[in-house]
Amino acid sequence: MADKKTMQTGIPSPEKRAKLPPDGGSEFNRLIHEKSPYLLQHAHNPVDWYPWGKEAFVRAERENKPIFLSVGYSTCHWCHVMERESFESEEIADVLNKHYVSVKVDREERPDIDEIYMNATQLIAGRGGWPNSVWLLPDGRPWYAGTYFPPDDMHGRPGFRTVLLRLAEFWHMKRPDVEAQANQLADVMKRISSGQHVEATGEPKRTLVEQAFRELRNSFDERLGGFGDAPKFPPHGSLGLIFHHYQKSRDEDLLNMATRTLDAMALGGIRDHVGGGFHRYSTDAQWLLPHFEKMLYDNAQLSRAYTNGYLATKNEHYREIAEEIFDWMLREMLDKDGGFHSALDADSEGEEGKFYVWRRDEVVAILGPEDAELFCRAYNIEEEGNFHDESTGARTGANIPHLRKALAEIAQDESLSPEDLRTHLDRDRRKLLEHRSRRIWPHLDDKVLASWNGLMIASLAYAGRNLKEARYTSAAEKAATFILTKMRKDGRLLRSYREGTAKLAAYLDDYAFLADGLLELYETTQNKRWLDEAEALVGVLLKHYYDKSDGGFFFTADDHESLLTRSKDPYDKAIPSGNGTAARVLVRLACHTGNRDYLKFAESIFRAFLGLMQRGPRAVESMILALDMYLDELPSLTSAEARRVKTSEAAEDKPDTFARKKPVSAEAFVSRLFVAPGGTVNLGIKLAIDGGWHINSNAPPQNHLAPTSLELKECPSVRLDKVVYPPGKNLTIASNAEPLSVYDGETWLFASLKVKKNASEGKPRLDFEIHFQACDDRSCLSPETVKLSLFVEIRKGAIAGEGRHRRIFEPFKHKKPRA
């Protein structure tokens, strides 16, 4: 098998690099001493590159030169193009070295710098992208920017060399204009960086969630899936929001948007049908022609989306795709110490996608004529190629394997059973994968990033729990242990790890994403270590990142390097925003610990960015999701140590913003707080039904009426053993000829909670759902679900049996249970 762990050829080992002079010597530049794969890719350039740091800015000030800042990442196709065309050119390097101090930044290591100067580029050029090319004053203020520049003048557009020379002249001849432009830009950037530059009206409430779904419906591509037109990116935030809301609403229109999108992406060339996983995005609306880089963060989020698709529909195809992604991750992206690498390049042998595409005669040679015919028909492999080159529009003879219809339909066309077709195609894909592994691999960016690993840990733990796959849970635990032991110093996370070294102070998303992943691990394993570690991470966020004046979290810590701005970016991009994820983590921590202070910090995030949520909820979907969770969970939260859990839409300390008067409220009582493995806890649920209202009993005689029921959401250590419902009262109303069976006033449901004999010690959270439909004598409200949460500590040595404790709950013999 070819070595997939490629770096630029000619890069010495870390030990040899350490012996080179600071400037890199005659063969390299200063970047040779960096760990970043992206910076090392440029260590051969004749450009006198500096890494970001004081040395470059001091030199620029001393020599009165502008700084040329180039920001990119190691798997970026157009970054490679600009390097080959311009940064490897001796002529262009001479211009840069004479007139500028040149600085190279890996955006994945330094997202703080990337965000600041991408904002500048979007303000100046009206668009953004990578490589990002920015011209700075020696104090870091930008005054000109663009993205990719071709090396030479063409079609009336100046080439990179021309731009460099003109701007150098402008620097010397019109310096006051440069200063004025820089001052104006800096002022605008500071307003934007706060995330609070949009005026808000009213309060954060459920209408924001409804608005987000209206905008989703309006932009949904019913024919091709996804939202909006080309280019099409996997809509991570939209899918997460839809699946969360569907769990409670059962809105089939929402589910259709999600499944249509999952189906379209699964058919298209954006999916690697041979090796598993997904490419970055599709350049067309059909999901056919991708940009071929494969990113950890995309696949972490898509594996969860397909897991959710399976859970919502029980469609095994979605489960298979999720498992394909996990298999690819564990096969090709796993670091030997347990973390996950960042990305696979789009390019190999200087050509984008070459590693992934196939010629028809090549497929025939590998599979044999008969098997190849079936495979080529299924995956649309054509003699002249099945896609047009993005720039020229010409057919290339190369093919991107993709499907035009589901395998079941193809099986019918081929007069095969779906099982037989699957067997054939699985065998063929394995042969092609084995052959592909002998090709020259794309570059692997093998740095380990805390935030992206947090996304992967969350998805693995979630799938481990819901797909009953212990190997996913084990991989998540191993990665979490790696991050917490190898990428933390003095209780503070570090951003990046490579070649045995962790470095760079972590950012908001590192803490938030990892905490979210640890909470998923806790929910899967019930190992309190993960809950404690998540709380510790949030403690650092609250101490060093929280904005005590205006709410929300800064992207960098209070002791971080001083930069042009200190931002609180709320926007979702390819990854969810740090503030949106932090809000969700805070809500989840409140649920698990009963500490309502976490809710106050979550609410401060919603209030800080309310204007943005109102103006464009699609841009902040992770925050909308957190708000939806907050509104769902707020009524049921209380102290984790209390025996009594109360839920009411008008809870005493709930802000008026979120108050909604409902005719039914619920309280839960337990017979004990401590129980041994194998023991039983008795549960009582009191329903308080307002006068003039009733709910259907557990066994209404009319089939069309929703019965009242109690459900314990899945918990590894506790099961709901038996529920005893009271008999319904007969009620006759004018609109119904047949008497109804109802509950009214104060009604009690009783149940036994059985702790499994092999349950581990800990304090599992028990999530209950009470389903009912409230009616008066004229009409009924929609069926409703009230959620209750409580904690019971499993402790060896606690009294395990029922014995004398059975008297605590004797169904329907007591108005209230005796504690």
Separation of alpha carbons 253 and 255, rounded Å: 5
The pLDDT value given to residue 576: 97
Percent of the chain with pLDDT over 90: 71
Q: In sequence order, which residues have a C-beta less than 8 Å from that of residue 183 and are 6 or more positions away?
A: 141
Residue 511: pLDDT band (50, 70, 90) is: very high
The band of 691, judged by pLDDT with boundaries at 50, 70 and 90, is: confident
**Which H or E run includes 455?**
helix 450-466
Average pLDDT over residues 457-471: 97
Q: Which residues contact 5 (CB under 8 A, 6 or more apart)?
A: 444, 446
Q: Which CATH number fits domain 657-812: 2.40.110.20, 3.40.50.300, 2.60.40.1250, 3.30.70.20?
A: 2.60.40.1250
**Mean pLDDT value across residues 138-167:** 95
Q: What pLDDT does 732 receive?
A: 81
Q: What is the pLDDT of residues 364-409, one digit of tens each?
A: 999 999 999 999 999 999 999 998 776 677 788 999 999 999 999 9
Enumerate long-range contacts of 323-329, CB under 8 Å, 24 or more apart.
323/467, 323/469, 324/276, 324/277, 325/276, 325/277, 325/278, 325/299, 326/460, 326/463, 326/472, 327/276, 328/272, 328/275, 328/276, 328/277, 328/299, 329/277, 329/296, 329/299, 329/303, 329/456
- How many alpha carbons fall within 13 Å on the CB side of residue 578? 28
What is the per-residue pLDDT for 737?
62
Q: Which of 119-128, 306-315, 551-560, 626-635 shows the lowest mean pLDDT across its residues?
A: 626-635
The residue ranking higher by pLDDT, 763 or 227, is 227
- Could you report the per-residue pLDDT of 20-64, keeping only the tens digit for each? 777 777 678 999 999 999 999 999 999 999 999 999 999 999 999
Segment 499-517 shows an average pLDDT of 97
Mean pLDDT over each residue of the chain, to the nearest integer: 88
Residue 795 has a pLDDT of: 80
What's the pLDDT tens digit per position in 480-507? 999 999 999 999 999 999 999 999 999 9
| pLDDT of 446 | 96
User: Would you list the domain boundaries of the chain?
Assistant: 2-194, 657-812
Supply the pTM of this predicted model.
0.78
Of the options 2.120.10.90, 3.40.250.10, 3.30.413.10, 3.40.30.10, the CATH number for the domain spanning 2-194:
3.40.30.10
Residues 84-93 have a mean pLDDT of 97
> What local confidence, expressed as pLDDT, does residue 801 receive?
40
* Burial class for 392, CB neighbours closer than 10 Å (0-12, 13-18, 19+): exposed
Asked if the model's pLDDT at residue 118 lies above 60, the reply is yes
What is the end-to-end Cα distance of the chain in Å, rounded? 67
Please report which confidence band the pLDDT of residue 667 belongs to, taking 50, 70 and 90 as the band edges: confident
Nearest-CA neighbor of 599 among 585, 614, 581, 613? 585
For residue 636, what pLDDT is reported?
A: 53
**Beta strand 740-743 pairing with 694-696:** antiparallel
What's the mean pLDDT in 784-790?
85
Q: What is the pLDDT of residues 715-746, one digit of tens each?
A: 888 998 889 999 999 888 765 667 889 999 99
10, pLDDT greater than 70: no
Query: What are the structure tokens assigned to 405, written together?
Result: 């219809």
Tell me: pLDDT of 809 over 60: no
Q: Is the pLDDT of residue 457 over 70?
A: yes
Question: Does position 540 have pLDDT exceeding 60, yes or no?
Answer: yes
Instruction: Give tens-digit pLDDT for 413-447.
Output: 999 999 999 999 999 999 999 999 999 999 999 99
Higher pLDDT, 518 or 387: 518
